[in-house]
Amino acid sequence: MVGDGRNIGFFLHPVIAVDANDGGILGLCGAEIWQRTNKADPAYKKLPIEKKESYRWIKGAKAAKDALKSAATVTVIADRESDIYEEWDRIPDERTHMLTRAMGDRAVCGGGTLFSFSDSLPVACLQEFILPPGHGRVGRTVHLEVRYGAVEIKRPRQCSDPSASKSIVLRLVDAREVNAPDGVDPIHWRILTTHSVSSGEDALWIVGLYRHRWLIEQLFRTLKKQGFNIESSQIEDSDPLEKLAVIALICAVRTLQLTMARGGGTERPASDVFGESEIEFIEVLQPELEGKTIKQKNCFPTGSLAWAVWIIARLGGWKGYASESPPGPITMLRGLIKFELLLEGWKLASKKMCA
């Protein structure tokens, strides 16, 4: 989102919950909205972390911990901006882990730096995966060399919290692309985590968890031009625009939940997204949207999110054939809008029949 102190706009920092087993989106944990209205403080680096914009990462992690109190384990996954010493010191506990891509070359206990330590590690295993297109990049098959090791990072001199631990023991997973196409910057992820990593299998699991971070990119694409096109809003006052953005964010998360569950991509129940009356109406709609052939039948278990997604996608214009391109966020959004309209009509008709 825009927000530079000169134009109408703001910054938006959402936190979403994702099932670690199948990648299904569970919902929105929280969101931070702010504007830059003043110039940066000349002594910005010396300010307490609570006075800095980067504090949003700590607030977001705390919001996730509060929202997911019933979860057995929570892993806060973030990109390089979240590599903040105060966050490493404050957030992890017996059930909360962090997993963040390293921002800079930290000093480590025993001498040397994080990056030189990373370069010294032997290759433990290899991984291959499909990198989806995005941010101007072309999708491609990526081949990674994966290394891992334990490292103890020192408290940096610029740490704003003098009571923070003098050092923190973390695990480093280094994933670097080999044989990248000409003209393409190869992937190189130095991933820091509080999870135990004692084998190549553990290291690959960490890389897989980090890749869930791409869901945030998909969420913003759904919120912007690929879906709600929130940037085209003609609202000129910041407060109403922020409120509109929050509503759109909630709807975008719901849309992305459906998109991720298409084709049985997750094993989540429909109740993750829909209420009892909505699920009841989905069952009413199913006979009207299924075709006569097996290929046009909803093959997913009744009550599953994949089952509900099939119905919503059909309402959005998807034909139901496996040979078609899978329904994307725009199709899901169209389907949800139509579903809500039909649901209201069904509720009114039901009330009239009961009167």
For residue 209, the model assigns a pLDDT of: 94
Write out the two tokens for 84. Answer: 């903040």
The predicted pLDDT at position 103 comes to 95
Q: Residues for the chain: how many in total?
A: 355
Confidence (pLDDT) at 183:
86
Instruction: Find the helix or strand (DSSP H, E) in which 97 lies.
Output: strand 96-101
Model-level pTM?
0.86
Encoded tokens for 67: 């929202």
What pairing do the DSSP bridges indicate for beta strands 188-193 and 167-177? Answer: antiparallel
The Cα–Cα gap between 77 and 83 comes to: 11
Say how far apart CA 98 and CA 83 lie, in whole Å.
10
pLDDT at residue 6 in the model: 53
Q: What is the pLDDT of residue 218?
A: 84
Backbone angles phi, psi at 146, to 5 degrees: -120, 130
Is the Cα torsion angle 12, 18, 22, 24 positive or negative in sign? negative
> How buried is residue 157: exposed, middle or buried, by Cβ count under 10 Å (0-12/13-18/19+)?
exposed
| The three-state (H, E, C) secondary structure of 141-153, written as one string | EEEEEEEEEEEEE
Cα 280 from Cα 277, distance rounded (Å)? 5
Q: How do the pLDDT tens digits run along the chain, 355 residues long?
A: 444 445 555 788 899 999 988 888 999 998 888 777 667 677 777 788 898 888 999 999 999 999 999 999 999 999 999 999 999 999 999 999 999 999 999 999 999 999 999 999 999 999 998 887 766 778 889 999 999 999 999 999 888 898 999 999 999 999 999 988 888 889 999 999 999 999 999 999 999 999 988 888 888 888 876 667 766 665 666 677 778 888 889 999 999 999 999 988 888 999 999 999 999 999 999 999 998 888 889 999 999 999 999 999 999 999 988 788 889 888 999 999 999 999 999 998 887 667 5
Angle at 209 between CA 25 and CA 300, to 5 degrees: 40
Residue ranges of domains in the chain, CATH in brackets: 80-85+97-208 (3.90.350.10), 269-354 (no CATH)
pLDDT for the residue 342: 96
